[in-house]
Structure 1
């Protein structure tokens, strides 16, 4: 696994479809950035360590991170260190994957989130 191509599970894809419909945010990469941020905000370690990336949703690192790739990479590397892992390429890629999926699950679980402004409020609070 590497950061070159980010793939999602079928479950995450289905959850993102629901989130897209309810927030009006139409781009996978934008929603995935929010999901990553929400998960990284939670200091606990994600319980799921293995993700089956079996959906047709995939994006390049450049598409996912946009112009802020260095910042996202630094955040993920720091999380590896905080969780007691060496920030190797493999660990960084796995940390991204598990936090991305946990964050999608968090966003999907917030059934009362119906707008972009509520999503922003989530990040600010």
Structure 2
């Protein structure tokens, strides 16, 4: 388990509320999984500004990851190794939060999501020009 529990930042909470309204997906953990996966699919390392933990939205790892907890952990660990960051516990926690933060920010950006179908389309492979 990467982390026992974590709190979202107030901006993340507000962004997730907007994403919930656009998509109709009501569960924080489901939206957070989508956000994490989107960020992990991006080739760049997320920014290094650690998100605050200042909202009242708290989630434990088993709620976040569900029955796929081991898979999410393995993917995050491998991504950290691929990026040359190592896989010590603090690095895994930090980059899990940075990827989650980046994914939530992406999905909350104007015009990225207008409906649940936009969320589903974001999972499709990107077309190469």
What range describes the TM-score normalised by the shorter chain of this pair?
over 0.9
Structure 2 residue aligned with 1:99: 99
Moved more, 76-85 or 48-57: 48-57
Structure 1: 4+ residue segments shifted above 4 A? none
Structure 2 residue aligned with 1:54: 54
Distance in 2 (alpha carbons) for counterparts of 1:81 and 1:108: 28
Distance in 2 (alpha carbons) for counterparts of 1:119 and 1:78: 25
- Aligned residue pairs total 124
Moved more, 110-119 or 87-96: 110-119
Distance in 2 (alpha carbons) for counterparts of 1:112 and 1:77: 28
Q: Secondary structure at the match of 1:102?
A: helix
Relative distance call for 1:40 and 1:110 in structure 2 (3 A) is: farther
Q: Which runs of no fewer than 5 residues in structure 1 stay unpaired?
A: none
Q: CA RMSD in A?
A: 1.2
Structure 1 residue aligned with 2:5: 5
Structure 1 residue aligned with 2:28: 28
Moved more, 103-112 or 39-48: 103-112
Cα displacement (A) at 1:112: 4.9
Cα displacement (A) at 1:45: 0.9
More helix by share: 1
Structure 1 residue aligned with 2:117: 117
Distance in 2 (alpha carbons) for counterparts of 1:21 and 1:117: 13
- With normalisation by structure 1, the TM-score equals 0.93
Task: Give matches, 1:63-74, under 5 Å.
Answer: 63-74=63-74
